[in-house]
Structure 1
Protein backbone atom coordinates (compact mmCIF):
# COMPACT_ATOMS: atom_id res chain seq x y z
CA UNK A 1 0.00 0.00 0.00
CA UNK A 2 2.74 2.49 0.90
CA UNK A 3 5.28 0.97 -1.45
CA UNK A 4 4.26 3.07 -4.52
CA UNK A 5 4.47 6.25 -2.43
CA UNK A 6 7.94 5.34 -1.11
CA UNK A 7 9.11 4.35 -4.58
CA UNK A 8 7.95 7.65 -6.12
CA UNK A 9 9.59 9.63 -3.30
CA UNK A 10 12.91 7.83 -3.74
CA UNK A 11 12.87 8.30 -7.51
CA UNK A 12 12.14 12.02 -7.18
CA UNK A 13 15.03 12.38 -4.72
CA UNK A 14 17.37 10.67 -7.14
CA UNK A 15 16.26 12.72 -10.15
CA UNK A 16 16.04 16.18 -8.54
CA UNK A 17 19.81 16.82 -8.15
CA UNK A 18 20.35 15.96 -11.79
CA UNK A 19 17.85 18.64 -12.84
CA UNK A 20 19.56 21.48 -10.98
CA UNK A 21 22.17 23.77 -12.45
CA UNK A 22 25.06 24.49 -10.11
CA UNK A 23 27.23 27.56 -9.69
CA UNK A 24 30.39 27.37 -7.59
CA UNK A 25 32.54 30.32 -6.56
CA UNK A 26 36.26 30.02 -5.88
CA UNK A 27 38.77 32.51 -4.49
CA UNK A 28 42.21 32.61 -2.88
CA UNK A 29 42.62 34.44 0.43
CA UNK A 30 45.64 36.48 1.57
CA UNK A 31 47.27 33.33 3.04
CA UNK A 32 47.11 31.54 -0.33
CA UNK A 33 44.31 29.17 0.72
CA UNK A 34 41.81 28.28 -2.01
CA UNK A 35 38.15 28.48 -0.94
CA UNK A 36 35.03 27.09 -2.65
CA UNK A 37 31.49 28.18 -1.89
CA UNK A 38 28.00 28.39 -3.32
CA UNK A 39 27.77 32.04 -2.18
CA UNK A 40 29.34 34.78 -4.35
CA UNK A 41 32.13 36.95 -2.90
CA UNK A 42 34.33 39.75 -4.21
CA UNK A 43 37.00 38.63 -6.70
CA UNK A 44 35.60 35.09 -6.87
CA UNK A 45 35.97 32.96 -9.97
CA UNK A 46 32.63 31.55 -11.14
CA UNK A 47 32.29 27.91 -12.21
CA UNK A 48 28.98 27.00 -13.87
CA UNK A 49 27.91 23.36 -14.06
CA UNK A 50 24.83 22.23 -15.92
CA UNK A 51 24.05 19.46 -13.44
CA UNK A 52 25.49 17.79 -10.40
CA UNK A 53 27.27 14.53 -11.04
CA UNK A 54 25.35 11.48 -10.00
CA UNK A 55 26.85 8.81 -7.78
CA UNK A 56 27.54 6.63 -10.82
CA UNK A 57 29.47 9.38 -12.59
CA UNK A 58 31.35 10.79 -9.58
CA UNK A 59 34.66 10.09 -11.28
CA UNK A 60 33.82 12.14 -14.37
CA UNK A 61 36.44 14.44 -15.95
CA UNK A 62 34.64 17.49 -14.49
CA UNK A 63 35.25 16.46 -10.88
CA UNK A 64 38.61 14.82 -11.48
CA UNK A 65 39.88 18.02 -13.10
CA UNK A 66 39.47 19.81 -9.76
CA UNK A 67 41.57 17.22 -7.89
CA UNK A 68 45.09 16.63 -9.24
CA UNK A 69 45.68 12.98 -9.98
CA UNK A 70 48.89 11.03 -9.43
CA UNK A 71 49.73 11.20 -13.14
CA UNK A 72 49.43 15.00 -13.29
CA UNK A 73 51.76 15.64 -10.37
CA UNK A 74 55.18 16.86 -11.35
CA UNK A 75 58.27 14.83 -10.53
CA UNK A 76 59.37 17.72 -8.30
CA UNK A 77 56.54 16.84 -5.91
CA UNK A 78 58.06 13.42 -5.15
CA UNK A 79 59.33 13.14 -1.58
CA UNK A 80 63.06 13.27 -1.03
CA UNK A 81 64.80 9.93 -0.72
CA UNK A 82 65.13 8.80 2.87
CA UNK A 83 66.39 5.81 4.81
CA UNK A 84 66.50 5.03 8.51
CA UNK A 85 67.50 2.24 10.84
CA UNK A 86 64.65 0.29 12.43
CA UNK A 87 66.72 -1.96 14.65
CA UNK A 88 68.78 -1.93 16.73
CA UNK A 89 67.80 1.27 18.50
CA UNK A 90 70.21 4.11 19.31
CA UNK A 91 72.28 3.32 22.43
CA UNK A 92 70.80 -0.16 22.68
CA UNK A 93 72.80 -2.79 24.55
CA UNK A 94 73.06 -6.10 22.72
CA UNK A 95 74.14 -9.26 24.53
CA UNK A 96 75.51 -11.96 22.28
CA UNK A 97 78.54 -14.21 22.85
CA UNK A 98 79.00 -14.90 19.13
CA UNK A 99 79.12 -11.19 18.31
CA UNK A 100 75.94 -11.28 16.21
CA UNK A 101 74.15 -8.03 15.39
CA UNK A 102 70.89 -8.13 13.40
CA UNK A 103 70.21 -4.86 11.57
CA UNK A 104 67.12 -3.75 9.66
CA UNK A 105 66.35 -0.51 7.85
CA UNK A 106 63.48 1.07 5.95
CA UNK A 107 63.61 3.31 2.87
CA UNK A 108 61.01 5.21 0.89
CA UNK A 109 62.36 3.83 -2.38
CA UNK A 110 62.00 0.34 -3.83
CA UNK A 111 65.28 -1.51 -4.12
CA UNK A 112 65.17 -1.76 -7.90
CA UNK A 113 66.21 0.37 -10.85
CA UNK A 114 69.75 0.94 -9.54
CA UNK A 115 68.84 1.42 -5.87
CA UNK A 116 71.03 -0.33 -3.28
CA UNK A 117 71.92 0.13 0.36
CA UNK A 118 75.32 0.17 2.03
CA UNK A 119 75.91 -0.54 5.71
CA UNK A 120 78.58 1.44 7.53
CA UNK A 121 80.08 -0.14 10.66
CA UNK A 122 82.24 2.27 12.66
CA UNK A 123 82.34 4.64 9.68
CA UNK A 124 83.62 2.02 7.20
CA UNK A 125 81.66 0.17 4.52
CA UNK A 126 80.69 -3.30 5.73
CA UNK A 127 80.36 -5.73 2.85
CA UNK A 128 79.11 -4.73 -0.57
CA UNK A 129 76.02 -2.65 -1.48
CA UNK A 130 72.92 -4.83 -1.53
CA UNK A 131 69.23 -4.63 -2.34
CA UNK A 132 68.12 -6.14 0.98
CA UNK A 133 67.36 -3.83 3.89
CA UNK A 134 68.56 -6.30 6.53
CA UNK A 135 71.98 -7.52 7.66
CA UNK A 136 73.16 -10.30 9.97
CA UNK A 137 76.63 -9.42 11.24
CA UNK A 138 78.72 -12.20 12.81
CA UNK A 139 81.89 -12.12 14.94
CA UNK A 140 81.68 -8.44 15.79
CA UNK A 141 83.96 -7.62 18.70
CA UNK A 142 82.52 -6.47 22.01
CA UNK A 143 82.28 -2.76 22.70
CA UNK A 144 80.51 0.24 21.24
CA UNK A 145 79.90 0.45 17.51
CA UNK A 146 78.54 3.13 15.17
CA UNK A 147 75.95 1.96 12.62
CA UNK A 148 74.66 3.88 9.62
CA UNK A 149 73.03 2.96 6.30
CA UNK A 150 73.23 4.79 3.00
CA UNK A 151 70.75 4.66 0.13
CA UNK A 152 72.56 4.47 -3.20
CA UNK A 153 71.36 5.02 -6.75
CA UNK A 154 73.79 3.67 -9.32
CA UNK A 155 76.53 3.85 -6.67
CA UNK A 156 75.89 7.48 -5.69
CA UNK A 157 74.68 8.25 -2.14
CA UNK A 158 71.23 9.85 -2.30
CA UNK A 159 70.27 9.50 1.39
CA UNK A 160 71.87 8.53 4.69
CA UNK A 161 70.39 7.48 8.00
CA UNK A 162 71.43 9.01 11.28
CA UNK A 163 74.42 7.31 12.83
CA UNK A 164 73.51 5.30 15.92
CA UNK A 165 75.62 3.77 18.67
CA UNK A 166 75.07 0.22 19.90
CA UNK A 167 76.87 -1.57 22.71
CA UNK A 168 77.75 -5.23 22.21
CA UNK A 169 78.30 -7.18 25.44
CA UNK A 170 79.74 -10.68 25.55
CA UNK A 171 80.23 -12.92 28.53
CA UNK A 172 83.83 -12.81 29.72
CA UNK A 173 85.90 -15.98 29.75
CA UNK A 174 87.27 -14.90 33.11
CA UNK A 175 83.81 -14.69 34.71
CA UNK A 176 82.53 -18.04 33.47
CA UNK A 177 81.86 -20.60 36.17
CA UNK A 178 83.94 -23.73 35.86
CA UNK A 179 82.02 -26.93 35.28
CA UNK A 180 80.90 -28.65 38.42
CA UNK A 181 83.16 -31.49 39.54
CA UNK A 182 81.33 -34.70 40.05
CA UNK A 183 82.59 -37.02 42.72
CA UNK A 184 82.05 -40.70 42.64
Structure 2
Protein backbone atom coordinates (compact mmCIF):
# COMPACT_ATOMS: atom_id res chain seq x y z
CA UNK A 1 0.00 0.00 0.00
CA UNK A 2 2.85 2.35 0.84
CA UNK A 3 4.39 1.66 -2.58
CA UNK A 4 1.10 2.53 -4.29
CA UNK A 5 0.80 5.84 -2.41
CA UNK A 6 4.39 6.78 -3.31
CA UNK A 7 3.73 5.91 -6.94
CA UNK A 8 0.53 7.97 -6.97
CA UNK A 9 2.27 10.96 -5.35
CA UNK A 10 5.13 10.85 -7.87
CA UNK A 11 2.72 10.55 -10.78
CA UNK A 12 0.66 13.55 -9.69
CA UNK A 13 3.71 15.74 -9.11
CA UNK A 14 5.22 14.82 -12.46
CA UNK A 15 1.95 15.78 -14.19
CA UNK A 16 2.23 19.23 -12.62
CA UNK A 17 5.69 19.61 -14.17
CA UNK A 18 4.32 18.92 -17.63
CA UNK A 19 1.58 21.49 -17.17
CA UNK A 20 4.03 24.43 -17.00
CA UNK A 21 3.52 27.56 -19.07
CA UNK A 22 5.40 28.35 -22.28
CA UNK A 23 6.43 31.87 -23.26
CA UNK A 24 7.67 33.30 -26.56
CA UNK A 25 9.63 36.49 -27.13
CA UNK A 26 12.22 38.01 -29.47
CA UNK A 27 15.77 38.38 -28.21
CA UNK A 28 18.09 41.32 -29.02
CA UNK A 29 19.01 39.73 -32.38
CA UNK A 30 15.36 39.39 -33.42
CA UNK A 31 15.23 35.60 -33.04
CA UNK A 32 12.10 33.98 -31.59
CA UNK A 33 12.88 32.31 -28.26
CA UNK A 34 10.62 29.82 -26.49
CA UNK A 35 11.03 29.46 -22.74
CA UNK A 36 9.24 28.31 -19.61
CA UNK A 37 10.06 31.61 -17.86
CA UNK A 38 9.35 35.09 -19.22
CA UNK A 39 12.66 36.91 -19.80
CA UNK A 40 11.29 40.40 -20.46
CA UNK A 41 8.03 42.36 -20.57
CA UNK A 42 7.45 41.50 -24.24
CA UNK A 43 7.11 37.75 -23.56
CA UNK A 44 3.71 36.32 -24.47
CA UNK A 45 2.25 33.20 -22.93
CA UNK A 46 1.33 30.48 -25.42
CA UNK A 47 -1.84 28.55 -24.73
CA UNK A 48 -1.12 24.91 -25.52
CA UNK A 49 -3.81 22.53 -26.67
CA UNK A 50 -3.28 19.47 -24.51
CA UNK A 51 -5.89 17.33 -26.25
CA UNK A 52 -4.63 15.33 -29.22
CA UNK A 53 -6.21 16.25 -32.52
CA UNK A 54 -7.34 13.28 -34.58
CA UNK A 55 -8.57 13.94 -38.09
CA UNK A 56 -10.08 10.97 -39.92
CA UNK A 57 -8.61 10.48 -43.40
CA UNK A 58 -11.79 9.34 -45.09
CA UNK A 59 -15.33 8.50 -44.13
CA UNK A 60 -15.94 4.82 -43.49
CA UNK A 61 -19.19 2.97 -42.93
CA UNK A 62 -17.73 -0.08 -41.22
CA UNK A 63 -20.15 0.14 -38.31
CA UNK A 64 -23.18 0.76 -40.53
CA UNK A 65 -24.35 -2.66 -41.79
CA UNK A 66 -27.04 -1.10 -43.99
CA UNK A 67 -24.55 0.59 -46.29
CA UNK A 68 -23.66 -1.34 -49.42
CA UNK A 69 -21.38 -0.90 -52.40
CA UNK A 70 -24.33 0.05 -54.61
CA UNK A 71 -25.07 3.09 -52.41
CA UNK A 72 -21.50 4.41 -52.62
CA UNK A 73 -20.91 7.10 -55.23
CA UNK A 74 -18.49 6.42 -58.07
CA UNK A 75 -15.14 8.08 -57.41
CA UNK A 76 -13.55 10.00 -60.27
CA UNK A 77 -9.78 9.58 -60.09
CA UNK A 78 -7.37 12.10 -61.55
CA UNK A 79 -4.03 10.62 -62.62
CA UNK A 80 -1.14 12.77 -63.71
CA UNK A 81 2.44 11.99 -64.68
CA UNK A 82 4.92 14.28 -62.96
CA UNK A 83 8.21 12.84 -64.19
CA UNK A 84 9.32 12.66 -66.95
CA UNK A 85 7.73 15.87 -68.14
CA UNK A 86 6.35 16.18 -71.66
CA UNK A 87 8.95 16.51 -74.43
CA UNK A 88 11.82 16.21 -71.93
CA UNK A 89 15.18 14.61 -72.69
CA UNK A 90 16.63 12.09 -70.25
CA UNK A 91 20.39 11.67 -70.41
CA UNK A 92 21.33 8.34 -68.86
CA UNK A 93 23.83 5.88 -70.33
CA UNK A 94 22.25 2.95 -68.48
CA UNK A 95 18.82 3.75 -69.91
CA UNK A 96 17.20 4.22 -66.50
CA UNK A 97 14.06 6.32 -66.51
CA UNK A 98 12.53 7.41 -63.20
CA UNK A 99 8.76 7.71 -63.53
CA UNK A 100 6.55 9.30 -60.90
CA UNK A 101 2.95 10.35 -60.86
CA UNK A 102 0.09 11.52 -58.70
CA UNK A 103 -3.36 10.05 -58.07
CA UNK A 104 -6.11 12.09 -56.47
CA UNK A 105 -7.97 11.26 -54.38
CA UNK A 106 -5.36 9.10 -52.66
CA UNK A 107 -4.59 5.67 -54.08
CA UNK A 108 -6.81 3.08 -52.30
CA UNK A 109 -5.10 0.05 -50.81
CA UNK A 110 -6.81 -2.42 -53.15
CA UNK A 111 -5.98 -0.50 -56.36
CA UNK A 112 -2.75 -0.68 -58.34
CA UNK A 113 -0.82 1.30 -60.92
CA UNK A 114 0.33 -0.11 -64.27
CA UNK A 115 3.03 1.76 -66.17
CA UNK A 116 2.80 1.60 -69.97
CA UNK A 117 5.96 2.31 -72.02
CA UNK A 118 5.42 2.63 -75.79
CA UNK A 119 2.07 0.85 -75.45
CA UNK A 120 3.54 -2.14 -73.59
CA UNK A 121 2.84 -2.78 -69.86
CA UNK A 122 6.04 -2.70 -67.81
CA UNK A 123 6.15 -5.49 -65.24
CA UNK A 124 3.35 -6.28 -62.84
CA UNK A 125 0.98 -3.61 -61.48
CA UNK A 126 2.31 -1.98 -58.30
CA UNK A 127 0.74 -0.23 -55.31
CA UNK A 128 2.78 2.98 -55.65
CA UNK A 129 3.02 5.87 -58.09
CA UNK A 130 6.76 5.63 -58.73
CA UNK A 131 8.69 3.22 -60.91
CA UNK A 132 12.19 2.88 -62.35
CA UNK A 133 12.28 1.64 -65.92
CA UNK A 134 15.60 -0.01 -66.77
CA UNK A 135 17.48 -0.35 -70.07
CA UNK A 136 15.24 1.97 -72.08
CA UNK A 137 16.75 2.35 -75.55
CA UNK A 138 17.67 5.75 -76.91
CA UNK A 139 15.13 7.69 -78.93
CA UNK A 140 11.53 8.81 -78.60
CA UNK A 141 9.23 7.04 -76.13
CA UNK A 142 5.75 7.40 -74.67
CA UNK A 143 4.74 6.71 -71.08
CA UNK A 144 1.33 6.41 -69.42
CA UNK A 145 -0.02 5.44 -66.00
CA UNK A 146 -3.19 3.40 -65.58
CA UNK A 147 -5.15 2.92 -62.36
CA UNK A 148 -6.45 -0.64 -61.98
CA UNK A 149 -9.14 -1.75 -59.55
CA UNK A 150 -8.90 -4.98 -57.54
CA UNK A 151 -10.15 -7.01 -60.53
CA UNK A 152 -7.52 -5.55 -62.88
CA UNK A 153 -9.95 -3.33 -64.78
CA UNK A 154 -8.59 0.07 -65.92
CA UNK A 155 -10.63 2.75 -64.15
CA UNK A 156 -8.49 5.80 -64.96
CA UNK A 157 -5.53 6.71 -67.17
CA UNK A 158 -3.09 9.58 -67.36
CA UNK A 159 -2.32 11.49 -70.53
CA UNK A 160 0.29 9.89 -72.77
CA UNK A 161 3.59 11.74 -72.33
CA UNK A 162 6.33 11.76 -74.97
CA UNK A 163 9.95 11.92 -73.81
CA UNK A 164 13.39 11.24 -75.29
CA UNK A 165 16.27 9.11 -74.02
CA UNK A 166 19.79 10.24 -74.92
CA UNK A 167 22.59 7.72 -74.43
CA UNK A 168 26.20 8.47 -75.32
CA UNK A 169 27.76 6.30 -77.99
CA UNK A 170 31.37 5.74 -78.97
CA UNK A 171 32.06 6.56 -82.64
Q: TM-score range by the shorter chain?
A: 0.5 to 0.7
Distance in structure 1 (CA, Å) of the matches to 2:100 and 2:109: 21
Shift of 1:112: 3.5
TM-score, normalised to structure 2, is 0.55
User: Are the counterparts in 1 of residues 109 and 127 from structure 2 also a CA contact under 8 Å?
Assistant: no
Q: What corresponds to 1:146 in structure 2?
A: 142
Runs of 4+ in 1 over 3 A off after TM superposition: 109-113
Structure 2 residue aligned with 1:160: 157
Superposed CA RMSD in Å reads 1.9
The residue correspondences of 1:67-82 to structure 2 (distance < 5 A) are 75-76=72-73, 79-82=75-78
Consecutive unaligned residues of structure 1, counting only runs of 5 or more, are: 1-69, 175-184
What does the per-residue CA deviation read over 1:142-171, in whole Å, with 9 as the maximum and x for residues that have no partner? 011110000011111110000010100011
Matches within 5 A, 1:99-114: 99-114=95-110
Tell me how far apart the structure 2 counterparts of residues 120 and 99 of structure 1 sit (CA, whole Å): 16
CA contact (8 A) 1:103 1:135 kept: yes
Task: State yes or no: 1:116 paired with 2:139.
Answer: no
Larger Rg: 1
Shift of 1:132: 1.1
